[in-house]
Amino acid sequence: MFTATLLTNPETPVLDRATVESLRNAWGGGDAIWLDPGVAAEFPLEAVPANLWDVWSGLQPLGIDLAVQPGANRRKRLLIADMDSTMIQQECIDELADEAGVGSYVAGITARAMNGELDFDSALRERVGLLRDMPADTITRVIRDRITLMPGGLALLTTMRANGAYAALVSGGFTAFTAHIAAVLGFDENRANTLLIENEKLTGHVADPILGKQAKLDALLEITARLGITPDDAIAVGDGANDLAMLTNAGAGVALHAKPSVAAQCNLRVNHGDLTALLYLQGYRREEFAA
């Protein structure tokens, strides 16, 4: 058995009964269950429809996301999440670069690296090199003034942890940012790269080894083994090419507002919903969200 989930942005609840029932009838699905009126609904299916991605494409202009996944083991015991443009709305290195006056140049490199066009490690070293001699306290100011949380993140963390899940923040960004975001949202642990600092200034270097694509996959495998579960018990979320190995090896890998080349390689794609989409994909009803 499989489950089809339709969802949209909670800020613009455009999902209507006619759309859900039309698709359910076309696919011969079971009774629809509304997880949140106007926002998310699901119904069971015997098999993955042959025209899934055609229907998905047709719903995108309406602001509706569609996912079909196995119906069993949907409520996961591990959340493993990227940070930049996933748990927060910015790329932390771009924000630091903007303070250094090289924001546009660095943002271009970041976009290409996240789209898989550049080697992640080399691109990170080049961008960090441009931050040389930046006062270290700039990081604190950037976190305070420039970083905003992705909507739905607190509900996602609070609800999953209230239901016994473990949460890990695994980022190709920097520990100075992940430590703060992990504390604010309630992650159990965080992993990221370390900016090297001397005499209260950035050196322009990052500590080895760099946490990139392989390190994110390693984190998934290490954490699940430590918890005595399997990767099938994990839901992963990210948006960049360095997230792909983690996304494709987790039981549920969600490409959230992802680069097109990344989303194309993932079965669960959320372009309109916020982070609460990960709860709806696990079958949580809105009234089950933890306060």
CATH number at residue 25: 3.30.70
- Is 115 a residue whose pLDDT tops 90? no
Cα of 14 vs its chain's centroid, Å: 23
Same domain for 265 and 208, yes or no, is yes
Q: What is the mean pLDDT of residues 111-121?
A: 88
Same domain, 67 and 2: yes
Residue pLDDT, tens place only, 249-279: 999 999 999 989 999 999 999 999 999 999 9
Tell me which residue range forms the domain holding 246: 76-291
Q: For residue 130, what pLDDT is reported?
A: 93
Neighbours of 158 (CB within 10 A): 16
Tell me the mean pLDDT in the region 221-245.
97
Lowest mean pLDDT among 72-86, 113-127, 248-262: 113-127
- Tens digit of pLDDT for each residue in 121-146? 999 999 999 999 999 999 999 999 99
State the pLDDT at residue 291.
Answer: 74
Written as one letter, the residue type at 198 is E
| Per-residue confidence (pLDDT) for residue 48, from 0 to 100 | 97
pLDDT tens digits, 156-191: 999 999 999 999 999 999 999 999 999 999 999 999
Average per-residue pLDDT for the chain? 96
Clarify whether residues 61 and 115 are in a common domain. Answer: no
Q: Are residues 102 and 184 in the same domain?
A: yes
Cα(114)–Cα(229) distance, rounded to whole angstroms? Answer: 29
Instruction: Give residue 113's pLDDT band: very low, low, confident or very high (50, 70, 90).
Output: confident
Q: Are residues 109 and 129 in the same domain?
A: yes
Quick one: 281 and 243 in the same domain? yes
- For residue 219, what is the enclosing H or E element? helix 213-227
Spatial separation of the C-alpha atoms in residues 37 and 277, rounded to whole Å = 14
pLDDT at 119 over 90: no
CB 66 within 8 Å of CB 4: yes
What residues are annotated to the active site? Answer: 82, 84
- pLDDT for 103: 86
What is the C-alpha separation between 80 and 190, in angstroms, rounded?
10
Tell me what percent of the residues of the chain surpass a pLDDT of 90: 92
Q: Do residue 242 and residue 116 come from a single domain?
A: yes
Nearest to 168 by CA among 286, 87, 256, 288: 87
Above 90 in pLDDT, residue 65? yes
Residue 116 confidence (pLDDT): 86
- pLDDT value of residue 250: 98
**Domain boundary, last residue among 72, 102, 123:** 72
pLDDT for the residue numbered 191: 97
**Whole-angstrom distance, CA of residue 140 vs CA of residue 118:** 29
| CA angle in degrees (0–180, nearest 5) for 281-77-188 | 110
Tell me the mean pLDDT in the region 81-96: 96
Domain boundary among 34, 52, 72: 72
55, 72, 89 - which closes a domain: 72
pTM of the entire predicted model:
0.95
Model pLDDT, residue 220: 98
**Is residue 40 domain-shared with residue 144, that is, in the same domain?**
no
Domain CATH number, residue 243: 3.40.50.1000
**88 and 68 within one domain:** no
pLDDT at residue 114 in the model: 87
The whole-number pLDDT of residue 118 equals: 86
Query: Is residue 104 domain-shared with residue 239, that is, in the same domain?
Result: yes
**What is the tally of structural domains in the chain?**
2
One domain, residues 165 and 206: yes
Based on the fold, state whether residues 272 and 182 are members of the same structural domain: yes
Share of the chain above pLDDT 70, in %: 100
